[in-house]
Amino acid sequence: MVAVVLALGACSGSGGKKAEERAGAAPGAGPRLKIAMVTHSGPGDTFWDIVQKGAKAAAAKDNVEFLYSADPDGGKQAELVKAAIDKKVDGIIVTLAKPDAMRDALAQAAAAKIPVVSINSGAGESARLGAVAHFGQDESIAGEAAGRELARIGSKKALCVIHEQGNVGLEDRCAGARKTFGGDLQNLFVKGTSMPEVKSSITAKLQAGKDIDGILTLGAPFAATAVDAAKESGSKAKVGTFDMNKELIASIKAGDIWFAVDQQPYLQGYGAVDGLWLLKTNGNVIGGGRPVLTGPAIVTRDNAAALEAFAERGTR
């Protein structure tokens, strides 16, 4: 065996490269892997569409069969993870918006020796539940950044609109914003699956509180709805949000939305697939046991134009 290794080492540059590729050290080389992603939100949500684009780009590069499924109910999401285990996938990517609901499913993945990577939500629970890495932003830190932005634009009394009750990441965002805002920030829970109901809830709150001068939403589609609600109620409340899409960039440039906290969802999907590929083909573990931060990045009218082309193609 030593002689073989030495012989390979003595080969020409092209021969050495081919040997490395046969060993699976180059993207797209080696056996085809199967990786499943199971999230708490899915197709039709612009944020998760961007996550999937990143994951699919990495899958194409790495010769990975990419399987995607989603369900907002924690118990049903866990069942989707178990279904992926039954398919004998090589790795699983999960979100941990409701970490307790995922505990048993992730334990089953560990028993089956299937590595798990978490993305987006549940950074604080990720390692404890057995994930080898986490790709996302620290939601508390991101919330603190949003609170500072609310203060910067002159808001004194604001709403933090939570569109999914029980989602620990969303609650951490509002809690973080409250720490740095310096004014009065109230949580407003809305039914995120129905935009008409979201608009109605925000409108009613603005009509009842004429002194509300700021709105922080936790997803790009909700920001647009908040702008409409403010107009309908005659409120001058300024809107900031988490996350982006191409419509949001246009709204920031127009001055309808004051800022966005971008956690780079494309990077989360890409990094998670690539991370599992590296683990399976080269034994690499990214992050050293700590979350790999993909944000927050603050987008305002000053820098929105620089990201417009990326947003147009659906990668920011």
Mean pLDDT by 10 residues, the chain (316 residues): 36 43 55 95 82 97 97 95 98 95 98 97 92 95 97 98 90 97 97 94 97 97 96 97 92 97 96 97 93 95 94 90
Q: Which residues, other chains included, contact 32 with Cβ-Cβ below 8 Å and sequence gap of 6+? A: 63, 64, 65
Is 232 part of any domain? yes
**CA 164 – CA 162 distance, rounded (Å):** 6
**How confident is the model at residue 26, as a pLDDT?**
66
| Strand 157-162 relative to strand 257-262, pairing | unpaired
**How confident is the model at residue 6, as a pLDDT?**
32
67 plus 202 within the same structural domain: no
111 plus 223 within the same structural domain: no
Is 23 part of any domain? no
Is 4 part of any domain? no
Is 110 part of any domain? yes
217 plus 273 within the same structural domain: no
**CA 39 – CA 282 distance, rounded (Å):** 26
**CA 126 – CA 71 distance, rounded (Å):** 19
> Between the CA of residue 69 and those of 61, 76, 83, 278, what are the distances in Å?
21, 11, 10, 23
Q: What domain count does the chain have?
A: 2
Is 279 part of any domain? yes
Is 180 part of any domain? yes
Is 11 part of any domain? no
**How confident is the model at residue 27, as a pLDDT?**
63
306 plus 237 within the same structural domain: yes
102 plus 238 within the same structural domain: no
- For residue 154, the enclosing domain spans 139-262+300-312
Domain containing residue 38: CATH number: 3.40.50.2300
175 plus 55 within the same structural domain: no
Q: Residue 214 is encoded by which pair of tokens? A: 């700021």
Whether a cis peptide bond, with omega within 30° of 0, leads into 72 is no
**How confident is the model at residue 42, as a pLDDT?**
67
**How confident is the model at residue 168, as a pLDDT?**
86
Is 109 part of any domain? yes
Return the DSSP state at 154.
T
89 plus 202 within the same structural domain: no
For the chain, how big is the Rg over CA atoms in Å? Answer: 22
199 plus 277 within the same structural domain: no
End-to-end Cα, the chain, rounded Å: 48
